[in-house]
Structure 1
Amino acid sequence: MEAPKQEADSSHLTDPSPTSAVELETLRERVAELDRLASIGQLTAGILHEIKNPLNFITNYAHLSVDLIEELEGIAAKLEGHPEYDDLIDVLDMLKGNIVRIRENGARAERVIQGMLAQTRSDSVLFEPTDLNTLLEEFSKLAYQGMRAGDKEFVVSLVFQLDPSIGKISLAPFEFNRVILNLVLNACYAVNERRKKQQDSYKPTITIMSQKLDDRVEIKIRDNGDGIPDEVKTKLFTPFFTTKPVGKGTGLGLSLSRTIVDELHKGSLSVVSETGNFTEFTISLPLN
C-alpha cells in the first residue's frame, strides 16, 4: 500500500523568523541612514565651497589691512606732539588688534573647512607634520558645537590637558580628525543622556588629554557619562553596532576610528569604562 503523500513544509522559505525580520528591517534603516548621510555629504561639500570663497576674501583683506595700519602708524609718527596724537595711536593699536584677531579666526575657520572638505573626497591619504594639540582642540570644539546645534540645552565643560612638548607629528590629519570628531561626539552623547536623567546634580565634563612618551604619543578622551556595560564593550568596534536610536548613529564611527588609528597610523585605540561613572578612550600613536 502506497504511503500517503505529505505536503512539504515551505513556510521557512516564505515566512522569515521574527528575528530575521527585525534584522532585515534594521539593515534597511541603516542603509537608508547611510544614503541620507551620503546626500548630506554632497550638500555639505557644496556649502563649504561657497563659504570658502568669501572667507578667503576676509582673510586676504585682513592681511592687507594690517599692512595699511602699519603705514598709518608711520604717518602718525610725524604728528607726534599733536594734542590728539596719543588718542590716534591708541585707536590704531585697537584697530590693528581687532584685525589680527579676524585674521587668526579666519585662518582657523579655513583649517576647519579644509578638514571637512577632505571628508567628502576620496583622494589618496597624505601624511604631513601636524600640530596635534591644535587639531585636538579645534575638532573637539567642533564636535561640541555640532552636538549643541541639535540640542540647545546641552552644555558641557571641555577640559584640555595638552602636553606642549608634543609639537608637530606626522599624521594624516584629514583622516585623524574624523577619529577625534567621532570620539568627542560619542562622549557628548553619553554625558547628554546622563544630563537628561540627573539635571540638577550632574555636571557634564569631557577631558581631552595628550602626552608625549618615549616612543609614542597618547591621547585620552574621557567623559563622565553613564559608562559602557561589559556586554556592550565587546561589540563596540563592530561595524554597524550601535546603542543609539535609529537616526542618531550608523554604528560605523568607532569601527572607522579603529581602522584609521590601527591600520593607517599603526597605532592602537582602546577603551576602559566603569558603568555609572566614566568612559575613557585611549589613542596610542608611534612617533617613528
Structure 2
Amino acid sequence: MASLGELTSGIAHEIQNPLNFVNNFSKISLELLDELKEEITADHKTDSVQIADDLVQNLSRISHHGQRADSIVKGMLQLSHGTTSNGKKQLINLNELTTEYLQIANKDILSKNKNVSVKLAVTFDPAIEQVKVVPQPAY
C-alpha cells in the first residue's frame, strides 16, 4: 500500500505541474484581455499590440503544458495496458526530454530525502535537432 501511495502521489504531482501552468497562464490571460479592452478603448495602439503579443505567448505556454499533461496521461494509460509507444520511432526534442527526466529525478530525490536541497542548473543547445527514438513514459 505504501508503494501504491508513493506512485499515486508521484503521478498526481506530475499531472499537477502542467495543470498549474495552464491555470496560471489562463488567469493571467484573462486579466490581460481586460487590460487590452481598456487600451483599445483608449486608442493606445502600441500598448494594445504588446498586450496581444503577451496573450499569444501565454496561449502558447498553455498549449505546451496542456500537451505535457496529455502526454503524461497517455503514457500512464499505455503503461497500464502493458504497452509503451508501439515500437515506432518518433521525432523527439532531446532538450525537452532531458528536462522532463531531470525534473522527475529531482522530485524523486526530494520526496525521499526531505533534508536535501537540490538545485538543477542546466544549459541546453537551443539549436539541437530532433532525433528519432522509441519514446518511453518518463515515470
Quick one: distance in 1 between partners of 2:121 and 2:32? 37
- Who wins on radius of gyration, i.e. which is larger? 1
Quick one: distance in 2 between partners of 1:116 and 1:68? 34
User: 1:76: Cα distance to partner?
Assistant: 2.7
1:145 matched to 2:107? The reply is yes
Quick one: distance in 1 between partners of 2:36 and 2:83? 46
Q: In the alignment, is the contact (CA less than 8 A) between 1:119 and 1:174 conserved in 2?
A: no
1:133 matched to 2:95? The reply is yes
Unpaired runs of at least 5, structure 2: none
1:44 matched to 2:44? The reply is no
Give the helix-richer structure, 1 or 2: 2
2:122 alignment partner, SS class: strand
User: 1:77: Cα distance to partner?
Assistant: 1.9
- Compared with structure 1, are the counterparts of its residues 142 and 97 closer, same or farther at alpha carbon in structure 2 (3 Å cutoff)? farther
Question: 2:62 is matched with which residue?
Answer: 103
Question: 2:80 is matched with which residue?
Answer: 120
- Compared with structure 1, are the counterparts of its residues 123 and 60 closer, same or farther at alpha carbon in structure 2 (3 Å cutoff)? farther
Quick one: distance in 2 between partners of 1:72 and 1:157? 36
CA offset digits 1:206-245 (Å, max 9, x no partner): xxxxxxxxxxxxxxxxxxxxxxxxxxxxxxxxxxxxxxxx
Quick one: distance in 2 between partners of 1:114 and 1:133? 21
User: 1:121: Cα distance to partner?
Assistant: 3.5
* Range with greater deviation from structure 2 (97-106 or 123-132): 97-106
User: 1:119: Cα distance to partner?
Assistant: 3.7
2:72 alignment partner, SS class: helix
Q: In the alignment, is the contact (CA less than 8 A) between 2:110 and 2:118 conserved in 1?
A: no
CA offset digits 1:16-49 (Å, max 9, x no partner): xxxxxxxxxxxxxxxxxxxx69x629x639x65x
**Which one scores higher on RCO, CA 8 angstroms, separation ≥ 6?**
2
CA offset digits 1:144-178 (Å, max 9, x no partner): 11110121221234343433333222222225x46
Give aligned-pair identity as a percent.
18
Q: In the alignment, is the contact (CA less than 8 A) between 2:25 and 2:59 conserved in 1?
A: yes
Quick one: distance in 2 between partners of 1:72 and 1:172? 45
| One-letter code aligned to 1:40 | L
Q: Taking structure 2 as the reference length, what is the TM-score of the superposition?
A: 0.54
User: 1:134: Cα distance to partner?
Assistant: 0.6
Please give the root-mean-square deviation of Cα atoms over the aligned residues, in Å.
Answer: 4.7
Quick one: distance in 2 between partners of 1:68 and 1:170? 40
Q: Taking structure 1 as the reference length, what is the TM-score of the superposition?
A: 0.31
Quick one: distance in 2 between partners of 1:64 and 1:156? 30
User: 1:128: Cα distance to partner?
Assistant: 1.8
- Compared with structure 1, are the counterparts of its residues 161 and 74 closer, same or farther at alpha carbon in structure 2 (3 Å cutoff)? closer
CA offset digits 1:178-229 (Å, max 9, x no partner): 6xxxxxxxxxxxxxxxxxxxxxxxxxxxxxxxxxxxxxxxxxxxxxxxxxxx
Size of the alignment, in residue pairs? 124
Q: In the alignment, is the contact (CA less than 8 A) between 1:131 and 1:169 conserved in 2?
A: yes
